Amino acid sequence: MDLLRFITAGSVDDGKSTLIGRLLYDSKSIMIDQLEAIEKQSKNKEQGEIDLALLTDGLRAEREQGITIDVAYKYFSTPKRKFIIADAPGHIQYTRNMVTGASTADLAIILVDARNGVVEQTRRHSIIASLLNIPHVVVAINKMDLVNYSQDIYNNIVIDYADVAKSLGLKDVTYIPISAVFGDNIVEKSPKLAWYEGPSLLHLLESVEVDKDTNLTDPRFPVQYVIRPQTDDLHDYRGYAGKVISGIYRKGDAVTVLPSGRTSKIQKIEHNGIEVDEVFAPQSAILHLEDDIDISRGDVIAKSDNLPKTTQELDVVLCWMDNKPLTTGSKYLLQINSRVVKSVIKEIEYKLDVNTLQKMDATAASLNDVIKVKIKTASPIPYDSYNDLRENGGAILIDETSHVTVGACMIQ
């Protein structure tokens, strides 16, 4: 049994909550007491309707206003897979929350209302999915019951969306006609949509190949913590604890420590307290090197024949997440995995219209803006291009005085 993380973005109007409710309910992940609790609160209870949004909207303010404000994480499993849903709000004023939910997703479900087809929100969600480089996209064309399960309408939406997918370079796009309210094509294939030849949504979620998304070719190991017991029997023990974020490491591999550039060989690998010959992404491990060289938290151990870039000048697509605006010359801490360095915004190249992908001139960025910037760091950082290796190309900006996370960087 493996693991799939996916994001659903949208508002109640799109049927997002109904869809999640369906998946949870039909996979028996909603318990009786939880159902009773939402039944009590459902406003339409006299009509016998249960408001499934109440299941996902966890905060008092969200229930009061009937909107999703923040990302909520939901869990269900089938005999084949464990699923983690990042349930994110869909409105433009919550773009940063969607970016947050999308950052760890293997797959995005883009909801399209069959009555409205591809609209501004569809484009925005797709643009975010492409910016965050989510490997798989499922376009769920919902509310098919309201268009008489029409194949023509479905086909036209597929044609329209194919243009969006092409312009954004989305790699793996699958289309499914569904009705979340009636459960059509959610768990079981619906006879009302007999013309549709693909799998049901759940079947698709169970069968998407996610193993292939793990990069096993570019070994990167950010050091988190140095283990030195300094006891009598472990006097010389010095292990570098961290997670293999990509690639495979084997005993004897020639490695380079970045940013210093010092080289050595892997002497010993420990995984869960046992000595092993190799470790691979995304396992946590302890590496030992043959030479006693200076390595500390935030350094990256890479294989000498496959190095990341190490520079102080970064081209970055940035989603701004703070109420205070970002301007040229502002200084922030930049954190990439376990490495934190000072940085300065050198230049704002343009602002991206997240509805149209148009580039616009800009001198500042405000909350939820997506902009292209040049950043200079105080010392070199080892990184890969986000689009090549998500695990080593994403960084956050931190306000030095409030300590708040203010920006999400996709390094180009």
Choose which of 336, 354, 362, 370 interacts with another protein (CB under 8 A). Answer: 336
The stretch near another protein (CB under 8 A) out of 43-51, 53-61, 112-120, 139-147 is 53-61
Choose which of 34, 155, 207, 358 interacts with another protein (CB under 8 A). Answer: 34
Q: Is 76 left (phi over 0), alpha (psi -120 to 50) or beta?
A: beta
Decide: is 215 part of the binding site for another protein (CB under 8 A): no
Choose which of 224, 328, 385, 387 interacts with another protein (CB under 8 A). Answer: 224
Within 122-181, the residues that bind another protein by CB under 8 A are none
Which tokens hold the place of 376? 């200079």
Site string for another protein, 287-306 (x = CB under 8 A): ----------x---------
Decide: is 33 part of the binding site for another protein (CB under 8 A): yes
Residue 162: CB minimum distance to another protein, A: 30
Decide: is 12 part of the binding site for another protein (CB under 8 A): no
The stretch near another protein (CB under 8 A) out of 110-118, 135-143, 352-360, 393-401 is 393-401
DSSP assignments along 128-187, one per residue: HHHHTT-SEEEEEEE-GGGGTT-HHHHHHHHHHHHHHHHHHT-SEEEEEE-BTTTTBTTS
Decide: is 195 part of the binding site for another protein (CB under 8 A): no
Choose which of 11, 122, 190, 337 interacts with another protein (CB under 8 A). Answer: 337
Choose which of 258, 333, 352, 373 interacts with another protein (CB under 8 A). Answer: 333
Q: Contact 215/281 with Cβ under 8 angstroms? A: yes
Of 364, 336, 410, 375, residue with least CA distance to 134? 410
Residue 217: CB minimum distance to another protein, A: 11
Decide: is 411 part of the binding site for another protein (CB under 8 A): no
Decide: is 395 part of the binding site for another protein (CB under 8 A): yes
- How many residues lie near another protein (CB under 8 A)? 73
Collapsed DSSP state (helix, strand, coil) of residue 345: strand
Residue 166: CB minimum distance to another protein, A: 27
Q: How far apart are CA 230 and CA 237, in angstroms?
A: 7
Of 78, 125, 76, 121, residue with least CA distance to 101? 125
282 prior amide bond cis, ω within 30: yes
Nearer to another protein, 193 or 410 (CB): 410
Collapsed DSSP state (helix, strand, coil) of residue 294: coil
Residue 147: CB minimum distance to another protein, A: 33
Residue 363: CB minimum distance to another protein, A: 24
Within 79-118, the residues that bind another protein by CB under 8 A are 81-82, 84, 96-97, 99-100, 103-104
Q: How far apart are CA 342 and CA 163, in angstroms?
A: 41
Nearer to another protein, 115 or 228 (CB): 228
Cα dist from 42 to 54, 63, 96, whole Å? 8, 10, 29
Q: How far apart are CA 304 and CA 249, in angstroms?
A: 11
Using a 10 angstrom Cβ sphere, with 0-12 exposed, 13-18 middle and 19 or more buried, the burial of residue 261 is exposed
Nearer to another protein, 153 or 205 (CB): 205
Residue 378: CB minimum distance to another protein, A: 16
The one-letter amino acid code at 65 reads Q
Choose which of 13, 75, 194, 277 interacts with another protein (CB under 8 A). Answer: 75
Look at the alpha carbons of 14, 20, 23, 25 in this order and tell me if their dihedral is positive or negative. negative
Decide: is 389 part of the binding site for another protein (CB under 8 A): no
Choose which of 168, 248, 344, 357 interacts with another protein (CB under 8 A). Answer: 248
Q: Is 403 left (phi over 0), alpha (psi -120 to 50) or beta?
A: left
Q: Contact 373/359 with Cβ under 8 angstroms? A: no
Nearer to another protein, 384 or 391 (CB): 391
Decide: is 367 part of the binding site for another protein (CB under 8 A): no
Say which residues have a Cβ less than 8 Å from residue 57's Cβ, sequence separation at least 6: 17, 63, 66, 67, 68, 72
Choose which of 124, 136, 243, 303 interacts with another protein (CB under 8 A). Answer: 243
Choose which of 43, 49, 61, 293 interacts with another protein (CB under 8 A). Answer: 61
Within 254-273, the residues that bind another protein by CB under 8 A are 272-273
